[in-house]
Amino acid sequence: MIRLEATTQAIDITPSDALGKTITTGLFGLLVFSTLAYGTVEPWSVAVFGGMVALFWVLWAARCVQRKRLTFTAPLAFLPLLGLIVLGGLQSLALTDESGRRIAISMDVEATRLALEVLAVLLLAGLLAAKFLARLERLTLLRNFLVTFGLVLAVFGLLQHFTWNGKYYWVFAPINPPLSPFGPFVNHNHFAGYLELIIPIPVAFILLRAVYGELSLYYGFAAVVMSVAVFLSLSRGGMISLISGLVFVIGFGLKPAFERMRGYHGKAGALSRIGAVIVILLTIGVGVWWIGADMVLDRMQHTDFISTGEKPRDGQEDFFKSRGWIWRDTVAMIRANWVTGVGVGAFPTAFSHYSQDDGSSLISQAHNDYLQIVADGGLVGAGLALWFLVIVGRDFARSLRQRDDARVAMALGCGGGVFALLVHSLFDFNLQLPSNAFLFLVLVAVLARLSAAADDGRVSPVLLTRTGFGGRAASKWEV
């Protein structure tokens, strides 16, 4: 964590934090809005999202003035995102030659600048989330909110799926009818991607027995309903990623579960936790079978994950024809621009120059976030992505060294959600959707906070800077 604190008061006097509560409530509202506004993919919703973030930063500045203290906390994992913004800024610098032709690294300067605006807003939103939502004393509120909102979103998605009348919320008719809508999302993969970020959290709390009684039943019910919704969305990437996230939680959660249990009763308790998770998994299977097993099985049976190069059978979806050819042409794009990339956000423009397709299809994403970051940013982009993964992996490993079961469960659940979406990024582009990217950054911020708190009161690594408002400056560590 990077932390900056300055104050004009020698003694810490904390006034009523009405502004802090307002910002916290607003950030929860921002999570809801960004999701319900079709994932925040349209210009109007992006503008509202950015306006809300700007308002919260103004409130934060007013709070600093009111408290006469400036505190700033930033996860180190956000530095690669800042680096990507700087890279995009360099790519968008344009020069005009004598003939009036504009020269720039980016193959679409306007698209790059627009993408930078969205990235900057997401970074600012993530910093606010790290400051207000990821605080240790608010983790209970955060997880209860996410589990409840995920449950409501899953129920809404299922209801709309089975009563779809061609209109979102049964009222708003889309200008271009989507091919695979689910819930408030135009694409069923994005619906699945959002829920797979949340589902590992209640499962982790049940596995580590960090919730009891009615709350554990509620968490189990929520996990089952959300998982059934993911399968019923018929997103193949979502199914694979959800299973990966659950395996991640179980794999990393078994050791802490047994380590905290000693003796006969301890072993019995650990076995009961494992049994509860098994019951959840079986209930998910029963739920899928009861509601729509035929749809799920049909979806899987009519998919060739490995292309044979032959014409697909009737009703069969060839993987190469859906995504493989896009990956092939993206690799060609990378080979031609492996140093600097084609420009952040310039993929749709650049793809047509390297595609072997006839040009009848408009391809805006590589359907693989790893390939696209390399195509957009070249070696620098690849390095930033790798740096991000290393930091997040380190934060997750450190965050498991908590002594409190609830904190370990939160770390395990957030880690499982992050891992699930990283797996999904092999097949889709969830991280390019503001709603999903914002929730992803919230979970990353929680891991960073728990990682800092795990080192026995030491924040490591931290860059601490002392500044003042003109009075005596005072700084302190905070975990």
* Alpha-carbon span 395 to 77, nearest angstrom: 9
**Three-state DSSP state, 73:** strand
Q: Which residues pair with 102 in a beta bridge?
A: 96
As a dihedral over the C-alpha atoms of residue 453, residue 459, residue 460, residue 462, rounded to 10 degrees, the angle is: 140
- Cα distances from 54 to residues 47, 50, 57, 122, 128, in angstroms, run 10, 6, 5, 11, 11
**Three-state DSSP state, 410:** helix
As a dihedral over the C-alpha atoms of residue 72, residue 395, residue 410, residue 4, rounded to 10 degrees, the angle is: -10
Angle between helices 200-207 and 213-232 (to 10 degrees): 140
- pLDDT tens digits for the chain (479 residues)? 776 655 554 434 444 689 999 999 999 999 999 999 999 999 999 999 999 999 999 999 999 998 888 877 789 999 999 999 999 999 999 887 766 677 889 999 999 999 999 999 999 999 999 999 999 899 999 999 999 999 999 999 999 998 999 899 999 988 888 888 999 999 999 999 999 999 999 999 998 888 888 999 999 999 999 999 999 998 888 999 999 999 999 999 887 666 655 544 455 556 666 777 777 777 777 666 665 555 555 555 555 544 444 444 444 455 556 678 899 999 999 999 999 999 999 999 999 888 887 666 778 899 999 999 999 999 999 999 999 999 999 999 999 988 888 999 999 999 999 999 999 999 899 999 999 999 999 999 999 999 998 865 543 333 323 233 333 333 333 33
- Cα distances from 221 to residues 251, 409, 460, in angstroms, run 22, 17, 38
Q: What tokens does 146 get? A: 């996410």
pLDDT of residue 296: 53
Vertex 150: Cα angle to 243 and 232 (nearest 5): 50
Q: For the chain, give every domain's residue range.
A: 2-9+16-95+103-296+325-460
**Three-state DSSP state, 308:** coil
Neighbouring C-alpha atoms within 13 Å toward the C-beta of 71: 20
Contact 414, 142 (CB under 8 A): no
Q: Which residues pair with 172 in a beta bridge?
A: 168
pLDDT of residue 256: 67
Neighbouring C-alpha atoms within 13 Å toward the C-beta of 88: 28
Q: Write the CB contacts of 187 (distance below 8 Å, at least 6 apart in sequence).
A: 178, 180, 181, 428
Position of tokens 């049940």?
206
Contact 387, 399 (CB under 8 A): no
* Alpha-carbon span 121 to 125, nearest angstrom: 6
CA 149 to chain CA centroid, nearest Å: 15
Eight-class DSSP state of 320:
I
pLDDT of residue 224: 92
Burial of 381 (0-12, 13-18, 19+ CB in 10 A): buried
Q: Write the CB contacts of 302 (distance below 8 Å, at least 6 apart in sequence).
A: 315, 316, 317
* One-letter identity of residue 251: G
Q: Write the CB contacts of 8 (distance below 8 Å, at least 6 apart in sequence).
A: 68, 69, 468, 469, 470, 471, 472
pLDDT of residue 364: 87
Contact 219, 147 (CB under 8 A): yes
- Cα distances from 244 to residues 233, 420, 439, 479, in angstroms, run 17, 6, 19, 31
